[in-house]
Amino acid sequence: MKRLLPLALLLLAACAPRQTAHTPRPDAVPFTRYVAVGDSITAGFQSGGLTAESQRAAYPRLLGERAGLNVPMPEVQDPGCPPPVGVTGQRNCALRQPGVVSPVVAVPGAKVGDVLRSTDTQVTDPDPQLYDAELYRAILGPNTTQLQAALARKPLFVTVWIGNNDVLLPTLRGRPDQSTPLESFRADYTALVDRLLAGGARYLVVMTVPDVTRVPALIPVRQLRLAGLVDDSCRGQDVYFGSIVVGRASRENPLSCTSPEALTAAEYAQSQRTVEGYNAAIRETAAARGVPVFDVTRVLGTLPGRPLIPTASSPFGRSFSLDGVHPSSFAHERFARELAVFMNQQFGTDLDTRP
């Protein structure tokens, strides 16, 4: 037994997290005055809700930790704004620390145009499932756009991950034709990048839009047939339904594949082409201005996929939270690490890239 003790101690030491602090190289570019622009992913939205816990697990805060930089979040009070799946209680958007100035100005539900123009009191054609005036007010303050808030922080380092909502919700509703038109997307994205650069953002990283047809919240009809949630019109059909539609279905009231909410094979391909168009516009805008592009699809491709046997606590596996759209805390950690590697390569910083 005594001989086993040193071996056990060695094993425990090997499994323990790293305790040593990372010291950047003396000649490294200091990572400072960081601002994150984006939507619900960047804000830390998980499992259909925004909580202080999920905000603290968001990749911008974790990226700051890798640089030894404090990145305070605009943490909302419990049970959340709104509460996540499985949590009861009325939504609470009040801040835990009123007056906090967070460098994470991302607002859940934001599209590219919203970054430029939308506030808690000003929005064009608000979508009831995307636009939330209370969240704008909590995160940005009154009468403030994301861009205005970002520039007020006088940023040097900026990450921009926006464009997901321009195509995601229309796809989940079976209406990819209602996605933001490519030329509007391009014009707004170009204006956003130009204004950030003009506002002093020296080290800007833009991030691509992922293939929204791959989110677990887009459910193939073959799975719904097994659950008895579709009618005979779906026999032999290659169709998908978004979880926001499936949530209204039952055996007594099944979904029809003739419904406009069904995403057909042609519409599925249309969504993918939209994402490709958005990413081409992002890359063209970035290339013309010497801005590096971080490919989120490459990172997503390295994450664990859906489990063969889903569980109630993790129906979509380690990579997605319970809403089947937003990345899990595990995925946020991976994004933070890969961004640290990317920034070191692009800008000469020395962020901690250890697992």
Task: Indicate yes or no: pTM above 0.85.
Answer: yes
What residues have CB less than 8 Å from 226, skipping those under 6 apart?
none
Q: Can you give the residue ranges of every domain in the chain? A: 30-211+270-347
pLDDT band for 19, please (50, 70, 90 cuts): low
Can you tell me the distance from the alpha carbon of 16 to that of 14, in angstroms, rounded to the nearest whole number?
Answer: 6
pLDDT in tens, 214-240: 999 999 999 999 999 999 999 999 999
The distance from CA 138 to its chain's CA centroid, rounded to whole angstroms, is: 19
Query: For the residues 266-277, what does the mean pLDDT come to?
Result: 98
Beta-sheet pairing, 157-161 with 203-207 = parallel
Query: For the residues 41-70, what does the mean pLDDT come to?
Result: 97
pLDDT greater than 80 at residue 335: yes
Identity at 247, one-letter amino acid code: G
Two tokens at 183?
């030329």
Q: If 0-12 CB within 10 Å is exposed, 13-18 middle and 19+ buried, where does residue 303 land?
A: middle
Report the percentage of the chain scoring pLDDT > 70. 94
Q: Does 142 or 6 have the greater pLDDT score?
A: 142
What residues have CB less than 8 Å from 263, skipping those under 6 apart?
171, 174, 176, 218, 239, 240, 241, 242, 271
pLDDT at 289: 98
Query: For the residues 292-314, what does the mean pLDDT come to?
Result: 86
Mean pLDDT for all residues in the chain: 93
Can you tell me the distance from the alpha carbon of 322 to that of 87, in angstroms, rounded to the nearest whole number?
Answer: 12
Report the percentage of the chain scoring pLDDT > 90. 88
Can you tell me the distance from the alpha carbon of 134 to that of 108, in angstroms, rounded to the nearest whole number?
Answer: 11
pLDDT in tens, 177-221: 999 999 999 999 999 999 999 999 999 999 999 999 999 999 999
Provide the angle, in degrees to the nearest 10, between the axes of the packed helices 329-347 and 59-66: 50
Domain 30-211+270-347 classified CATH 3.40.462.20? no
Can you tell me the distance from the alpha carbon of 348 to that of 352, in angstroms, rounded to the nearest whole number?
Answer: 13
